[in-house]
Amino acid sequence: MSKSLVRFDWAMKRLLRDKANFVVLEGFLSVLLDETVKIKQILSSQANKDEDDDKYNDVDILVENTKGELVIIEVQNTKEYDYFHRILYGTSKAIVQYTKEGEPYAAVRKVISVTIAYFDLGQGEDYVYHGTNKFTGIHKGDILALSPKQKELYNKQQVSEIYPEYWIIKSGIFDEDKVNDKLDEWIYFLKTGEVKEDFTAPGLPEAKDRLDKMKLTPEERKQYEAFVERLRKFASYQQTEIAAIQDLIKQGKNEKEEEAITGFYKIGVSPDNIARALNITIERVMHIIGKYKIP
């Protein structure tokens, strides 16, 4: 048995910003980062979109944990080819926005970017990717490390701990029949909106209780249904756009094929040789020749 809950992205818009519900996000981040995470506060994020006429299908939330780190959690429903650049922009902006003028560079915050993508971002067979910044010697192959004094001053053990850290979860391609660990339990929920009875990952028991559709007020239910309907409409719109683009590509290929057939035929190439050259049927060649009434 599983329990149907509101979508995680809508919950980030409406429910998870409440301090009483921080435990859900804390559970997710603790499982993902493999450490105990406590949220200090929710910070404003320029990319947040709460308007009812929101035409975009992304939701993000920026939190500060008790270690002073900034964590961006973003849910993206639709494909964007420049999404990697967008992730970079988001982390860079957070660094600048939350570093006060006149502060030393050592005051720059660590930023952790978490993307939950419902499309196949980039090319790769895995459904979870982790990116950190390391400096590798091109001759010795060693990893550049912090000096003992730097470790003491910055309270860091590795250079990579200073730089932004990136997580990409491609929940859209996750196989929900293969749940092997606590992180998989969370990704199962992210993809399906359901939590199975035997799931025990931190944050999920609280999600089962606090994200229950049946506990929404009439107004919240209305807002949630409108949100889901906007997702459906946008997905349908994108499918229509993709189909239109494919039709244009096909039309362009057909036009080029017809130009090639007529061009070859006009200079005396036989229909059989045209068909072999273009890897098409002789019937197709004869149809085009007849279509343009080429003598």
Q: How confident is the model at residue 248 (pLDDT cuts 50, 70, 90)?
A: low
- Listed in sequence order, the residues at least 6 apart from 178 whose beta carbon sits closer than 8 Å to its beta carbon are 184
- Per-residue confidence (pLDDT) for residue 4, from 0 to 100: 73
Q: How confident is the model at residue 149 (pLDDT cuts 50, 70, 90)?
A: very high
Taking residues 235-248, what's their average pLDDT?
Answer: 68
- Per-residue confidence (pLDDT) for residue 13, from 0 to 100: 83
- pLDDT, mean over the chain: 86
Q: What is the C-alpha to C-alpha distance for residues 55 and 229, in angstroms, rounded to an integer?
A: 11
Residue 45: count of CB within 10 angstroms of its CB: 20
pTM, two decimal places: 0.75
Q: Are 107 and 153 in contact (CB under 8 A)?
A: no
Q: What is the pLDDT of residues 152-185, one digit of tens each?
A: 988 899 999 999 999 999 998 999 999 999 999 9
| Residue 56 predicted with pLDDT over 50 | no
